[in-house]
Amino acid sequence: MTNSLSREAQKLEVRLEDYVKADKEFKKNTRECVRLFKQLGKKIGETLKPEEIEELSRLRRKAIKSLGQAFTSESKVSHEKSHIYESYGALILSLENELDELEA
């Protein structure tokens, strides 16, 4: 590979790693969100004592916060994915430029 093509391939490799990390974080956050909402749904279905209502409120806030974290991490995945698409284009353009130089 030429320097330009090699550099673009390396960029894609780094961006792929960033995407994989972001996706892993998204999955972790989403699983936690699901776990908390399931727990919340189970508690809501129970007959609660007055002191358990306060615990239910804390759990509700925790579940809502986890949903926000899931949305934020999903946004990061989308952002990293856009960098991968950008690298695909740069890689193809670099290849075309290198082939044009060979033909000249």
Residue position matching structure tokens 């409120």: 57
pTM of the model: 0.84
In this predicted structure, what is the pLDDT of residue 2? 67
In this predicted structure, what is the pLDDT of residue 51? 85
Residue-wise pLDDT tens digits, 27-62: 999 999 999 999 999 999 888 888 889 899 999 999
Residue position matching structure tokens 């960033």: 18
Rounded (to 5) percent helix, strand, coil in the chain? 90, 0, 10
In this predicted structure, what is the pLDDT of residue 61? 98
The token duo for 51 is 């002191």
